[in-house]
Chains A and B, each alone.
Chain A
Amino acid sequence: MTGPLERLGRWVLDRLTALGRANLFLLRLVGALAFLVRRPGLLVRQLYAVGVLSLPIILVSGLFVGMVLGLQGYANLVDFGATSSLGTVVALSLIRELGPVLTALLYAGRAGSALTAEIGLMKATEQLASMQMMAVDPFARVLAPRFLAGFIAVPLLTAIFTAVGILGGYWVAVVQLGVDGGAFWAQMQARVLLWEDIGNGVAVKSVVFALLANWIALFEGYEAHPTSEGVSLATTQTVVATSLAVLGGDFLLTALMFGAW
């Protein structure tokens, strides 16, 4: 019955109202953060769940990415006799791009999807409704601690990913391929700028990605249809939406920070 134009219109309207709901959701979430002053224990437990438990995957991935960067960088620079720049290449790639982006993507897969599934299931099994009937606001008791914990964890995980990655690059370049260790560190120290590179890359990007990843994960869980298909769809949706938002956001941020125009 409905024409394609009508369906397109409905789809656009649906997206727009969802965006509006997502913004209201974020507002309520931020408003509920004050509750954590009285109940810091809730935050600590979530920091463990999303932060500490994400460490293994972050450490291992960071190490491998750094090692690959060391290998690739060496293979390209050795022809120009420029292997002493290897430290800079590895560090800048990680600090500006790979650290924040890959950490956010890994976080979405490891912790974001778990948050969505947890909240979605709490909704499907009426745990959120029964909490509301007990006059306890799920935004304060359930969502706010998870949001703040994730918001704190992602930048820290990014810093760890980046540091481990640089060590991995060092191990491949210096220990395995014989690049001069002094040059590796000295060049890096001279060329990597504190504010322009580390501030923009690791700090600003990771904070933006932390907001996006946790906002999307909690919103998808909270809006999930209260059925098994609904929760599984929402979990997938979290990983897809976070990946797109992080990669798109990364392009915008990079253009603003390092762009030539």
Chain B
Amino acid sequence: MLSSPLPADAAPPCSGRLVTVRGLSFRRGERVIFRDVDLDIPRGKVTAIMGPSGTGKTTLLRLLGGQLRPDAGLIEVDGLRVPELGRRELYQLRQRMGMLFQSGALFTDLSVFDNVAFPLREHTRLSEKLIRTLVLMKLEAVGLRGARALMPAELSGGMARRVALARAIALDPMMVLYDEPFAGQDPISMGVLTQLIRTLNDALCLTSVIVSHDVKETAAIADYLYLLSDGQIVEHGTPGELGRSASPWVDQFMHARPDGPMSFHYPAPPYETELLLREPA
């Protein structure tokens, strides 16, 4: 169902490390988002990055895609140091990366079909007939072949995200960064999507990076998990290892406990002090 336009003998080796992050530090103004983070993403595997809301998961994906520059540290994707690339090289690398934005970020002036066709039309010289076949294939995979004539404004949130997913994989990239692929999906499409990500990954030797809060779904398809909290990786391992881990972070996050080392709150002064403080009249 999902075949790559690449000839089989051109397939890259399907093992080793695709992404290497060392000593990554990043700040937004005064707020430290990452403090000396090390992270590896193996080629051809599904790697999940989890952590509470606001810890910087989206920021990490943007750093990997070269949209943000780290304050310090090394980010290497397929042997290329992303922050040091010029625009042309960065764009060449990005043609081999797909990114599913948390917001979907569909082009509102293009139909569903044209959105998915967009990267194909911009980067290939395929005939319209072939493009149609490819687009319908991707849309079929996310269950929206029938919605191809709709405009983005006519889609539900979950549908828009699935179109964005189809668009992210349109060029059969070597790596796909999924920012919250499951948010807003019903149980059925959630199951289909997890299947899809897994199938894509295994059939095409794709490398998938999933950012998600959905512990159960993510743990079910991920080969490796990183748990981020407060600017650092607090735990990592295979889902089995994390399941057995005695770490308080893992326990709190995996079992959704309000109390534990991770804070649900954005950094703030103590609640009582703020309540007792009179607002200046």
Task: Report which of B67, B95, B164, B167 forms a contact with A135, defined as CB distance below 8 A.
Answer: B95
Could you give, for residues 90-120 of chain B, a 1 whenever the CB lies within 8 Å of some chain A CB and a 0 otherwise?
A: 0110110101010101111000000000110
Is A129 within 8 A of B94, CB to CB? Answer: no
Is A134 within 8 A of B119, CB to CB? Answer: yes
The distance in angstroms between the C-alpha atoms of A141 and B87, with both chains bound, is 15
B82 CB, nearest partner CB in chain A, Å = 12
Question: Across the interface, which residues of A come within 8 angstroms of B94, CB to CB?
Answer: 132-135
Residue B70 is within 8 A (CB to CB) of chain A in the complex: no
Could you give, for residues 138-164 of chain B, a 1 whenever the CB lies within 8 Å of some chain A CB and a 0 otherwise?
A: 000000000000000000000000001
Is B108 within 8 A of A127, CB to CB? Answer: yes
B135 CB, nearest partner CB in chain A, Å = 15
Question: Across the interface, which residues of B come within 8 angstroms of A141, CB to CB?
Answer: 122
Question: Across the interface, which residues of A come within 8 angstroms of B99, CB to CB?
Answer: 130, 133
Is A126 within 8 A of B95, CB to CB? Answer: no
Question: Across the interface, which residues of B come within 8 angstroms of A129, CB to CB?
Answer: 67, 101, 105
Q: How large is the interface on A (under 10, 10 to 19, 20 to 34, 35 or more residues)?
A: 10 to 19
A133-B95 CB under 8 A given contacts A126-B101, A126-B105, A127-B108 = no
Is A137 within 8 A of B91, CB to CB? Answer: yes
Residue A72 is within 8 A (CB to CB) of chain B in the complex: no
A29 CB, nearest partner CB in chain B, Å = 15
A125-B122 CB under 8 A given contacts A130-B99, A135-B91, A137-B91 = no
The distance in angstroms between the C-alpha atoms of A193 and B221, with both chains bound, is 78
The distance in angstroms between the C-alpha atoms of A121 and B152, with both chains bound, is 14
Residue B44 is within 8 A (CB to CB) of chain A in the complex: no
B80 CB, nearest partner CB in chain A, Å = 14
B208 CB, nearest partner CB in chain A, Å = 16
Could you give, for residues 129-148 of chain A, a 1 whenever the CB lies within 8 Å of some chain B CB and a 0 otherwise?
A: 11111111100010000000
Q: Nearest chain-A residue to B87 (Cβ)? A: A137
The distance in angstroms between the C-alpha atoms of A249 and B141, with both chains bound, is 57
Residue B123 is within 8 A (CB to CB) of chain A in the complex: yes
Residue B65 is within 8 A (CB to CB) of chain A in the complex: yes
Q: Nearest chain-B residue to A131 (Cβ)? A: B107
The distance in angstroms between the C-alpha atoms of A204 and B70, with both chains bound, is 47
The distance in angstroms between the C-alpha atoms of A134 and B92, with both chains bound, is 10
Q: Nearest chain-A residue to B94 (Cβ)? A: A135
Residue pairs across A and B with Cβ atoms less than 8 A apart, 15 shown, are A125-B108, A126-B101, A126-B103, A127-B108, A132-B67, A133-B67, A133-B97, A134-B94, A134-B118, A134-B122, A134-B167, A135-B92, A135-B94, A137-B87, A141-B122
Instruction: For the A-B complex with A121-B108, A127-B105 known, give 5 more contacts whose Cβ atoms are closer than 8 Å.
Output: A125-B103, A125-B108, A127-B107, A135-B123, A136-B122
Chain A to chain B: the 8 pairs with minimum beta-carbon distance, closest first: A130-B105, A126-B105, A135-B94, A135-B91, A133-B99, A135-B95, A134-B119, A136-B122
